[in-house]
Amino acid sequence: MPLMRSWVSSANSAETEFPLNNLPCGVFATGNEAPRCGVALGDRIVDVAGLEAAGLLKPGGDAKVLNVPYWNDFMALGQAVWASFRAELSALLAEGSAKQAEVEPFLVAMADATLYLPFKVAEYTDFYAGRNHAFNVGTMFRGPENALPPNWLHIPIGYNGRASSIVVSGTDIRRPWGQLKSPDKDMPAFMPSRRFDIELEMGAIVGQRSEGPVTVQEADDMIFGYVLLNDWSARDIQAWEYQPLGPFQAKATANTISPWIITKAALEPFRTSTPPREKELLPYLAEPGPMLYDIPLSVSIQPEGAKEAYVIARTNYKEMYYSAAQQLAHHTTAGSPMNVGDLLGSGTISGPTKSERGSLLELSWGGKEPIELPDGSTRTFIEDGDTLTLSGAAEGDGYRIGFGDCVGKLLPALEDPYARNK
Determine whether the annotation assigns residue 348 to a binding site: yes
Determine whether the annotation assigns residue 384 to a binding site: no
**How are beta strands 255-257 and 166-168 bridged, if at all?**
parallel
Nearest Cα residue to 405 out of 292, 299, 330: 299
Determine whether the annotation assigns residue 142 to a binding site: yes
Determine whether the annotation assigns residue 256 to a binding site: no
Torsion of CA 414, 239, 326, 80, to 10 degrees: 0
Find the catalytic residue in 133, 154, 330, 331: 133
The CA distance from 198 to 211, in Å, is 34
Longest CA span, the chain: 75
Determine whether the annotation assigns residue 88 to a binding site: no
The CA distance from 149 to 203, in Å, is 24
Determine whether the annotation assigns residue 231 to a binding site: yes
Determine whether the annotation assigns residue 128 to a binding site: yes
Nearest Cα residue to 277 out of 315, 323, 316: 323
Determine whether the annotation assigns residue 185 to a binding site: no
DSSP-derived secondary structure letter, 370 = P
Whether 133 is catalytic? yes
Determine whether the annotation assigns residue 342 to a binding site: no
Determine whether the annotation assigns residue 99 to a binding site: no
Contacts of 277 (CB under 8 A, 6+ apart): 153
The CA distance from 299 to 390, in Å, is 5
319 backbone dihedrals φ, ψ, rounded to 5°:
-75, -10
Binding site for substrate: which residues?
A: 128, 142, 238, 242, 348
Binding site for Mg(2+): which residues?
A: 231, 251
Binding site for Ca(2+): which residues?
A: 126, 199, 201, 231
Binding site: which residues?
A: 126, 128, 142, 199, 201, 231, 238, 242, 251, 348
Q: Just list the catalytic residues.
A: 133
